[in-house]
Amino acid sequence: MAGTGETVRGELARMQKQTGLALATYWVGLQVVSFRKHRKYDGNKLVPMDGGAGAVSPSGTEIAVRVDHFEKDYRDNRELLGVVRSDGSGLREYPEVHPIDMMDGCWSHDQSKMAMTVRIGPYAKLGILDLGSSQMRTFESQGPLNDTPHFTSQCWSPDDRQVVFGNDGSVQLTEIGKDELRILARGTKPTWSPDGNWIAFHDGNSFYAIRPSGTGKRKLFHKTRAVSALFWSPDSRFVAYVHADFFALDVEFYHLMVRRLEDGAEDWVADGVECCISYQWVTNPALLKQAKDAGKN
């Protein structure tokens, strides 16, 4: 628990020093936030032909990216899934899996499966990939699939049996291997808290939380110009989100914010971040050092 008068960033910096707690994402390179330094470190690009966004695993040891393969003098572009270690080694490619954008890639807690939106022929489908067997299972959503990301980095229930996703303006939940689908609420960008008790989502200018059963909806807080999902810390006490500010008229600038839910205190922890990618909380002492050593800024 926070000590008397301990600031959000102060508590996070202390935990980062003690356990390696960090916020990480992948955007043309691994990015890791230093709470003490009030900044993000940009690591190296891990895959030569990655598609930009990637999904960081819960342990911070692996990154899933879209690998772009060009053939016939770059006239034929094939996009396939790649999984690489966070140090850039051990790339595994899945030639039969064609993710539309790894911005919505979501690792299961045990890192054996991934949820993502994939292209099957001319169609976009929601899919669950077993990384060991390379078997893909697709499932239907309520309403037509739109162009926005459907999964966030925290889409799985703690037991990895259910996934939550957003589509057609609603928060939807399904159990793996079953055809049942439930709509929980009107909203977008749902994330499942690590303790399993809540699913957060965005609606209008506010963040809400609802029980996985669909009961107990409550408002978490109002925040104008929040542009991302809420990303829960491992103990479910903190949430991170991206907030837009302005350099000048129509020129946006983005801050990564963290809020302590127990008292509503918050602070920005990095600026100059991307607006629409997912973040992952990791507890990995080596990850921040790795990004700092390879840092480009």
**pLDDT tens-digit series, residues 69-120:** 755 444 455 789 999 999 999 999 999 999 998 989 999 999 999 999 999 9
Task: For tokens 């102060």, name the residue.
Answer: 10
Number of domains in the chain: 1
Residue 177: other Cβ atoms inside 10 A: 9
Band (4; pLDDT cuts 50, 70, 90): low
Q: Does a structural domain hold residue 296?
A: no
* pLDDT > 60? residue 1: no
State which of 86-90, 252-256, 264-268 shows the largest mean pLDDT: 264-268
Residue 159: give its domain's CATH number. 2.120.10.30
Residue 10: other Cβ atoms inside 10 A: 15
Give, as one character, the DSSP assignment of residue 103: G
**pLDDT tens-digit series, residues 208-242:** 999 999 999 999 999 999 999 999 999 999 999 99
Q: Does a structural domain hold residue 2?
A: no
Q: Does a structural domain hold residue 35?
A: yes
Q: Does a structural domain hold residue 74?
A: yes
Q: For 235-257, what is the mean pLDDT?
A: 85
Please, are residues 252 and 244 in contact by the beta-carbon 8 Å criterion?
yes
DSSP 156-167: B-TTSSEEEEEE
Range of the domain at 13: 8-291
Which residues sit opposite 45 in a β-bridge? none
- R_g (Cα) of the chain, nearest Å: 18
**pLDDT tens-digit series, residues 149-190:** 899 999 999 999 999 999 999 999 999 988 789 999 999 999
Q: Please give the share of the chain, as a percent, with pLDDT higher than 90.
A: 73
Written as one letter, the residue type at 177 is: G
Q: Does a structural domain hold residue 70?
A: yes
Q: Does a structural domain hold residue 3?
A: no
C-alpha closest to that of 269 among 86, 73, 40, 108: 40
Q: Does a structural domain hold residue 181?
A: yes
Q: Does a structural domain hold residue 241?
A: yes
Indicate the pTM of the whole model. Answer: 0.93
C-alpha closest to that of 291 among 106, 2, 34, 64: 34
